[in-house]
Structures are given as C-alpha cells and as structure tokens.
Structure 1
Amino acid sequence: MGLSIVVPILGPPAAGKSTLALALGADPSRRVFRLREQVPVDVLVATTSAADRLGWVDDSVVDPAVRSYLEEAAENGDVDAVLMDNFPGTGDQTQLLIDAVVDIAPGCVLEPVELLLDDRTRRRRAKRRRVCHSCEKDPISDPRMPAEATTPHSWTCARCGSLLHPRRGDAPSLFAARSRRHQDSTDAIRTTFTNAGYPVSTLNANQPPSEMARLVGAMLNHRSHTA
C-alpha cells in the first residue's frame, strides 16, 4: 500500500463536506486533512476577526502545512488516501495543492469532488446544525464537526450527553459571508483543477450521507485497486 489518491471535498457551506469526510475517514487506510488542525493557534485566532475573513489562512502558512501533511501521509505505508475536507478554498490554493501532490507523490491521483446543494436546503441544514464543545476540543473553542443529538430536536449530545450549541459560523451573517466567498472562488478552483488535467466530479448532496459515502467510497476503492 501507499498513498494513491487525494480527494479534495469541495462545496458550499452546509453541503455536507465534513459529514462525508468523517464517514469516509473511518477507514483506517484513509486520513482527513483539515486546515485548521494543521496551523498554529494564533493563526486561527486571527481568522475570527471579521466575517469576510472567517477561517481565512494566508497561503504562506497553508503551503507548508499542506506539504508537511502530505509528506507524512506518503511516508506512512498504511495510508492509501487523503481526504481534503473543504480544501482548497481558492484557485491559488488549488495550484498549491496540485504542485504539492506532484512533488511529494507523483504517482498519486487527484480526484476532486464537489457537493452540490440548493441554497434553501443549505440554510435549513445550517439552522439545525449543532456542535459539541465536549467531544471536539477545538483549540479556539469554535468546534466545527457536526454532532449527533439524542433525538432530532434535542440539544443533548448522543455521544457524551453534553449540551449542544449552534456552530458559530452558521450565524446568518457569517453563513452568508462564507457562502459568498465560496461562490466567488468556485470557478477558479474548478478551472485550475481542470486545466491541470483533474476534472471535478459533482455529487448531489441532497441524499443521505450514507449514500454519498457509498458512492465516493466505491471510487476510492476502485482507485486503490488500480493504482
């Protein structure tokens, strides 16, 4: 075994990117890259200063973080796939990722997948989404991973029993800003991938997470067997 495929999981806020990455990442041969987990805490703190910069990390920090993560994955003989949760976020970051994969794992395949979901459904999902501060020890107390409630309308975490909270970035003004940023950057991301020979596959996100994981998982398994 060895690193054979990198899958950027793209899409607008509340399309289900993290849920899909969590499901696929349960396989021990896969790793999930989340940029916020790979950068210093002071960098994360700086990303919370304004709505239009929420979660924004400068490329001078992004580049070494991505390369270091891919180098570790490529050196680990048990890792077959890396899933990039909500990365890249710009055309420049897309080229950065392509260059890193070519340099570090030249035999590795890039398979970007974009989740598509209508605005109304995304807003509804964001309104209902909850996070758990106890289960997810975020370095700046801003957890992102969707938490499961004990019942559909409960505010109790099914995993630890703690009180759930709305995700900070799902507040209406922040959600709108994040959606605009995605809309502004998505064409450049698609174009950069396509021009480099990595066309972006699309996936209808208005279906159960288990079905999305099955579809993408089949692609991952096929690639690992043909690499």
Structure 2
Amino acid sequence: MITSRPLCQNHNSVVNQVVAAIIKNRPLDAQLAASTNTQPWTVELVSQVLRFIPRFLFQSPRSIGRQTGFRHHAPLKQRKLKEESYKQHNNVLFLGPAAHRDPQKVNLGLVKAMEFYYWVENHFGFAHNEITCKEMACVLVKGNRLKALWEFLNEMSRRGNGGLVTTATVTCLIKVLGVEGLVNEALAAFYRMKQLHCKPDVYAYNTIIYALCRVGEGTVFVGEWSRWNCRV
C-alpha cells in the first residue's frame, strides 16, 4: 500500500505549518504568529519557506516528477514575457519554462512570498540578511515579476550599512535569469550592479558570459567589454 508522505517531510514543523497556510491562502497574521512562536525563526527556516513556494506553486503539472539531472538544460532562446502573457490570456499555446503553469497559483505564490517576507520581520523582529533577501529575489525571478524585483532590490539596497544586496546576490540572480531564459534581463541585472552599489567580480562576469553564450551572444558581450576596458 502506497501512502502519501507529509508535506516537506524531514523539515521543521513550523516550516510545514507556514507553507501549508501559504498554499491554502490563509492569512499570515498575529494568530498564526502566536501558533508558531515556539520555534524562533532563523535564516535557514525563512530560506526554506521561500524556496518551497516556487516548488509547490510555480511548477506546471507536467514538470512534477521530472528528472533533475544533467539532461535538463536552460532554454536556448530569449523569452518574451509580454508575448507569453498575451498568449496565456488568449489561450494560445506557447512553450518554455512558464508553459502550462497555473497563473492563479503563481500570483498566489508571489503575493504570499512577499507577505511572508515582511510577516517574519514585523511579528517576530526577524532581521533579514543577504541570504533571505536573495531567496526572496529568486522567488520574484521565477515568478517572472521583474518590475517588482527591481523595486524590491532598490528597497533592500537602502537598508543598513550598504543594504542587503551584494555582488553575490546579483550574480545569483543573473544565473537564475539565465536558467529561466531571460538572458536580456540577466544582462540588465549585470549593468544594474552599479545602481545597487555592487561591483562585478570575476564570477559575475563568468556567469553573465555563460548565460549569453547559451543564446549565442557571449562573444558580442566579451568584445564590448574588452573595448570598454581598453578605453579606461
């Protein structure tokens, strides 16, 4: 007899409780905060909740159970989000990472992720750091909410001493954008580093070049970067 395993087995019960509330669209309020107050929120627990949201709400039914080995590669074409949105609203078939996803579940995940991010901060006094900021930004990328992503990063970059957005954070986002097929957006993130008070390092350059090479544009970027370095 095959039995279904509990949600997020082997993970902390407080994470299970909050993720279940998010999936069922229950309010993240003071009542839920009181029921989860027995376990202090840590960076790892907050990160786990944010990672589970795309896994449970962003994947299409056709993606569930797929192999995650070396055979799964990033798209080789630049995605056009406006075109995808138009086709989705008009029931026109399109292919790619966002195909066959339930837009209502994606919107729910995005709203609840942002609500959770500020909920642990306001109700528990949790201090977000670079790691949790990065995880929240990755949720926005995987949900293809790029305008909200830049607004969020700008807000986080103004916090504290230098903000919560670092070169490593933006480099990770460049990688995720490339995997999602949003290569032009990955390049825009690379050029936004200065605006976010980050300085690109070797890993950042390698990451954006790899993303561009997947769509055949890596040599163009390298050439422009070399000419720019010669001028300075």
Shorter-chain TM-score above 0.5: no
Q: Which has the higher contact order (CA 8 A, sep 6+)?
A: 1
**Bigger strand fraction:** 1
What's the TM-score bracket when you normalise by the shorter of the two chains? 0.3 to 0.5
Q: Which has the larger radius of gyration?
A: 2
Q: TM-score, normalised by structure 2?
A: 0.33
Q: TM-score, normalised by structure 1?
A: 0.34
